[in-house]
Each structure stands twice: as C-alpha cells, then as structure tokens.
Amino acid sequence: MNAPFQNEATGPTKTAEAKVPLTVLIAAPRGFCAGVDRAIEIVERALGRFGAPVYVRHEIVHNRFVVESLKAKGAVFVEELDQVPEGVPVVFSAHGVPKSVPAEAERREMTYLDATCPLVSKVHRQAERHLEANRHIIFIGHRGHPEAVGTYGQVPEGSMTVIETVEEVESLDFPAEAPLAFLTQTTLSVDDTAQVVAALRAKYPHIVGPKAEDICYATSNRQAAVKEIAGKCELVLVIGSPNSSNSVRLVEVAERCGAKARLIQRASEIDASWLDGVSTLGLTAGASAPEPLVLEVIERLGELREVAVNEVVTAQEQIVFKLPRQLID
C-alpha cells in the first residue's frame, strides 16, 4: 500500500529565475504490489540466511533499479538453472516458472525458493484443474512473457492455446461443443481483456472461466487510478521498465484517456521539452517500480518547473502475502 505522499521538494526550487507552475497529479495506488514486495523480501532474506551469493533465475521483477540494488547485496541473476553452480541457493522470479524448472532443481538436489506471486500460482492451479477435467485451455496473454511461459509450462504441450486479441478469437477453430476453458495473464489491460473474454464467450458460450478474470488486484487498481487522473492531464509519466507488462499497459490506458504518455525508467530520461504546454502532469509507477523512483522524478520536475503535488487516491491496498516456509523463523 502506498503511504500518503510526502515530499519536501514539491515547492519551487530556489533559483533566481521564476518558473512556470506545474501541477502534478500522483496516482495512488502505484508502485510495488504485494507480490513484488514478497519476491524482493525473499531474495533479501535468502541472502541473510544463506549468505552471498544467492542466484536468481531471470529478473526477480522487471525493474533495473531493483535488480541492480539486489546485485549490490550479493544476488546473481541468470537465465537458466544450468548457470547456477552446485551448492548455492536459487530463487525463481515473481513471474512464475514452468514445472520443468523446479523438477530440474530437485533432480540436482538444489536449495530453491519460489518467489512466484501467489496470484500467478492461483492461475497455475486453475490450469491443472482444467487439465484434470479434460478441458483445452485458451490462455489470454502476451506470447513470450515470462508469466505466460510459466503458465503454459504447467500443462503438457498441446493442452493450451495462447491468444492476445479479439481477432485471434475469430481464427480459433475448435468444434462448437469442445470442452474449453480460459485463463488470463495477471498484468493485462482490463478493458482489452474484457473484449477478448466477451468474444470468447460469444463464440463458445459453454467455455469455462474463472469467477473473475485473473488480472490481479494491483494491475486493475493501477489502471483505474490512471484513468482517474489522465483526463485531467496533458502528459502522464509512467515509471517502469519496457519489459514490464503492467507498466506498458498503464501507458496505453493514459493514451486512451486522451493524454500523451511516456514510459520512463529513471528521472534522468525526462526531457525539459516534454513539459512545453503542459500545465498538469500525471505520474504513476508500475507494480515493480519502487517509491524512491517516484521521489526522484518529482525532484527532477522541481528543477524544471515550480511544482505543486496532489495525490489522487482511488483505492487502499492492504494485501500481504506469506513468505516461503524455509524463510520463516
């Protein structure tokens, strides 16, 4: 949950030159979600318990600042388990992994910790239940994204079909009465996914789906917060990585609300010319972007304009996920 925004650098910077006022609307909720908090804490606790190095398969979350911070503490990031030496612990990323990964870790008798977000794990369990019920699974998600790879790695090859758009629904050619189910990636656009689900249900009325789409609370809340501020802004800045699905979706949401939007990783990327003609700017952060980066952006804006900050709160988040048993004292 985001704490109430407090920042000393919201007033004019002390320079002789007068600056044009800029109102900054900061979305809340923003930044870290419970799954990201948990994943980072798993790596940090593993370092405390086992000592450095602790290996991490893939980026623990999609944020360079977070990854570099953990590297400085002794985490080593690799792409596959064959890059992990014998006798050291390994952590699986928050995005989830195919079943083959923990199976290989157990074959090698490795100490491993699974930092998969519990909401992603919930989708994995749903996939297993649909498989047991002999349903073919249609997975709505981004091909190649680590979460999608981890999800379709829960079932045998050929048991799941991945689609991204309404147009791809139209091209599906399953028999009318084929036993089908659908699942979704947790970080998708709420609006886009609703359209794909509606198309699926129209084409296959008997298709079985979750009681609510699998898009996680944090993704939904951050998109709703951006919708609240974007219509009042000429420009929205989204702090996040280009490979962060939920961050890219926030940019799309802002643009659909009529604002220009830019995805940035650090404050140093902000060009002063972006603020030309901008009187109100929106600011948010993807679910894997930490709050210090928000403060950094506010400070940078304060160097360019006389900044007044208003936080716009649309929801309160109080969810906390339990840590793996191996790390609980």
Q: Are 216 and 277 in contact (CB under 8 A)?
A: no
Does an H or E element contain 324, and which?
Answer: none
- Enumerate the active-site residues: 147
3 state DSSP class of 308:
strand
DSSP-assigned beta bridge partners for residue 261:
236
Burial, 221: exposed, middle or buried (Cβ in 10 Å; 0-12, 13-18, 19+)? buried
Q: Which amino acid is at 32?
A: F
Q: Are 59 and 318 in contact (CB under 8 A)?
A: no
pLDDT of residue 214: 82
pLDDT tens, position by position, for the chain (329 residues)? Answer: 455 565 444 444 444 357 899 999 999 999 999 999 999 999 999 999 999 999 999 999 999 999 999 999 999 999 999 999 999 999 999 999 999 999 999 999 999 999 999 999 999 999 999 999 999 999 999 999 999 999 999 999 999 999 999 999 999 999 989 999 999 999 999 999 999 999 999 999 999 999 766 889 999 999 999 999 999 999 999 999 999 999 999 999 999 999 999 999 999 999 999 999 999 999 999 999 999 999 999 999 999 999 999 999 999 999 999 999 989 86
Q: Are 186 and 117 in contact (CB under 8 A)?
A: yes
DSSP string for 228-290: HHHTT-SEEEEES-TT-HHHHHHHHHHHHTT-EEEEESSGGG--GGGGTT-SEEEEEE-TTS-
Residue 31 token pair? 């930044």
pLDDT of residue 11: 47
DSSP string for 75-102: EEEESSGGGSPTT--EEE-TT---THHH
CA of 117: how far to CAs of 2, 81, 263, 268, 279, in Å?
19, 20, 24, 30, 38
pLDDT of residue 199: 97
Three-point CA angle 159, 164, 170, nearest 5°: 85
Between strands 112-114 and 280-285, the pairing is unpaired
Q: Are 149 and 127 in contact (CB under 8 A)?
A: no
pLDDT of residue 4: 56
Sheet holding 260-264, edge to edge: 260-264, 235-239, 280-285, 21-28, 306-313
Q: Rounded to an integer, what distance in angstroms lies between the CA atom of residue 18 and that of residue 157?
A: 64
Residue 133 token pair? 């019920």
Q: Rounded to an integer, what distance in angstroms lies between the CA atom of residue 232 and that of residue 67?
A: 34
Q: Are 184 and 213 in contact (CB under 8 A)?
A: yes
